[in-house]
Structure 1
Amino acid sequence: MPQLARRLFVLPPELEGAARSWLEHGERTPRAPRLASSVVLLRDSPTGLETWLGYRPGSSPLGVLAFPGGSLDTFDDDPLGWLGPSPQHWAEQMGTDDVGLARRHIVGAIRELFEETGVLLAGPDLSTTVEANSTPEWMRAREAVANQEKSFTEVLAKRGLSLRTDLLKPLVNWLSPDFAHHRFNTRYFAATVPVNQQPTLLESKGVWGRWVCAKRVIEERETTALGDEVGQENTVGLTLGELLVPGSEIMLEKMAAANGCIAYLSYKRKPHVYQPKLVEEGGKLMLEVEAAKTVAGEPQRER
């Protein structure tokens, strides 16, 4: 069990109505969360660890700006080629006895990453991954999967590909606040981009997405620079805490403090469910999180 410290975060604007309703009408049974997976893409750069952030239209429980990810779907149970650690191994890593659920999260993570960025953690064997995935043919495949015209399984099988589950690393499990109207139970994973692949936006749905330097984003967290750059009605003039869910902000902090990809990925994390709770501080509604304290090898800045 990690050592925990109390942290306070800004309540994102899109959650304020739900939060006030929750308080006014009294606490009640929370809405059931949807299962989701998200992948934190990583790469080293001269200025520090970089990660891919994208804009999410609407009021996503993952945040206005978020790592690639989304809901699991029924197709994630379909049979497909599997390379790397077994679903049983993943269940142990994720701290669950439900092997089927663990498998679904892995498939969903790799599928969502493919849909949103084109990065495909798959290959014909354990020593090879797909290359040159930015062609019009691959974009059509992404669109077909995103629109559920084809299953992810079909796309892989047609090309003789299997999932490279060895390219994923488990991170953390975040649960949306009880008061939120749209809730996710999200498993986060990390991965580096395979050789000769580059993330790109989905043509039909992509609005904004790019590599960001984690250290710089955290240094500028109290400014509106990133939100202004995205340039959407619900991002302009907002600080980092108003654009991200607490889980994403904490992960960015840890990336900012990590000494490169290898150090970040090799850190041993124990399974734990984190959930923001609604609190009132000085007449202002905030989100309280019990987050892991600073640990040797993975320092974290306190706010």
Structure 2
Amino acid sequence: MRELPADMVLPEGMVPAEPPAVPVVPRDAATVVLIRDAPTGPEVFLQRRVTGMAFAGGMTVFPGGGVDRRDADASVAWAGPEPAWWGRCFDCDPALATALVCAAVRETFEESGVLLAGPDATSVVADTRPFADARKALEKREVSLAQFLAESGLVLRADLLRPWAHWITPAEEPRRYDTRFFVAVLPSGQRADDVTSEASDASWQTPAAAIDDWRQGRRGLMPPTWTTLADLDEFDSTAAVMAAERTVEKIIPKVVRRGGKLHVILPGDPEYTTAAAHLDARPDDEVGRR
């Protein structure tokens, strides 16, 4: 597993002084890493979450969000790998797999205007502007994804997505998500925008440039975002990304306090098996000897 930078820290308010006695049950969620080819290599679509949001306010993230109960509607028009295949990729049952893929498509449309759907199993919408009102209705939960697709004569294109990663929020945090990460290429003719109330700005960047912005203090990145960017930086085209063979393993980070700051540690770190919570702090010199 990729090692996190030693200077990566979490905002102090992200973890309470007294973590929950019983860890909060994480909510299922889906995140989609949109990619496109550029002269300098693949670029990713990134959004800076509005400061003050309950979860990850001010941080730079990929589009995504929690699963809505209606995302599990099995009547959704579907093209591509069946839910059972997605369930094997993400180690879940077909019903949850259906909900995750639907949430991925819905959240991507809501937050970026990119619609991974088309009139049939071999085409994709090139201009999403005619669906602007439907996008607002989805955001307000006035319609479900299945309803929107049926009324618009569209088919969900599950084949445009690839499984990428699976992260679960550390047990020390009060808001937790069980998030499956997908990758998808920006469909030809479509554009990703920043027309969402959840982001203060949005832009395309190469993974290396986004990581450099984090290093220079211009972006805040959480471990899953940084790790995904670092992984994608190894590819020279979107075709290579989409063709990559990934074994998706569940990653549950832990949080420790070092030098008065909150650090995330991942499985494989020497401290991982002994770290119970960030409140179990040790003197800095003891940490340094491990």
TM-score normalised by length of structure 2: 0.84
Is the contact made by 1:129 and 1:194 (CA closer than 8 Å) also made in structure 2?
Answer: yes
- 1:35 partner SS: strand
What residue number does 1:83 align with?
A: 79
| Matched ranges for 1:87-236 at <5 A | 87-96=83-92, 98-133=93-128, 135=129, 137-202=130-195, 205-225=198-218
> Which amino acid in structure 2 is aligned with residue 44 of structure 1?
D
> Which amino acid in structure 1 is aligned with residue 131 of structure 2?
W
C-alpha displacement at 1:143, in angstroms? 0.8
What residue number does 1:229 align with?
A: none
What residue number does 2:11 align with?
A: 13
Deviations 1:189-230 (CA, angstroms, capped at 9, x unpaired): 0000111111112355552111112111223432123xxxxx
C-alpha displacement at 1:179, in angstroms? 0.8
Q: Greater CA deviation, 207-216 or 8-17?
A: 8-17
The alpha-carbon distance between structure 1 residues 61 and 32, as it changes in their structure 2 partners (threshold 3 A), is: farther
The alpha-carbon distance between structure 1 residues 14 and 162, as it changes in their structure 2 partners (threshold 3 A), is: farther
Report the RMSD for the aligned CA atoms in angstroms.
Answer: 2.2
C-alpha displacement at 1:61, in angstroms? 5.1
Query: How many corresponding residue pairs?
Result: 265
- 2:267 partner SS: strand
Deviations 1:16-41 (CA, angstroms, capped at 9, x unpaired): 551x323xxxx732111111001000
Distance 1:179 1:203 in 2: 29
> Which amino acid in structure 1 is aligned with residue 138 of structure 2?
V
| Percent of residue pairs bearing the same amino acid type | 33
The alpha-carbon distance between structure 1 residues 284 and 159, as it changes in their structure 2 partners (threshold 3 A), is: closer
- Of residues 238, 241, 259, the one that matches 1:264 is 241
C-alpha displacement at 1:67, in angstroms? 0.3
C-alpha displacement at 1:14, in angstroms? 5.0
> Which amino acid in structure 1 is aligned with residue 31 of structure 2?
S
Is the contact made by 1:43 and 1:192 (CA closer than 8 Å) also made in structure 2?
Answer: yes
> Which amino acid in structure 2 is aligned with residue 21 of structure 1?
E
> Which amino acid in structure 2 is aligned with residue 93 of structure 1?
C
The alpha-carbon distance between structure 1 residues 284 and 132, as it changes in their structure 2 partners (threshold 3 A), is: closer
C-alpha displacement at 1:44, in angstroms? 1.4
Is the contact made by 2:10 and 2:261 (CA closer than 8 Å) also made in structure 1?
Answer: no
C-alpha displacement at 1:146, in angstroms? 0.3
The alpha-carbon distance between structure 1 residues 63 and 205, as it changes in their structure 2 partners (threshold 3 A), is: closer
Which stretches in structure 2 are left out of the alignment for 5+ residues? 270-290
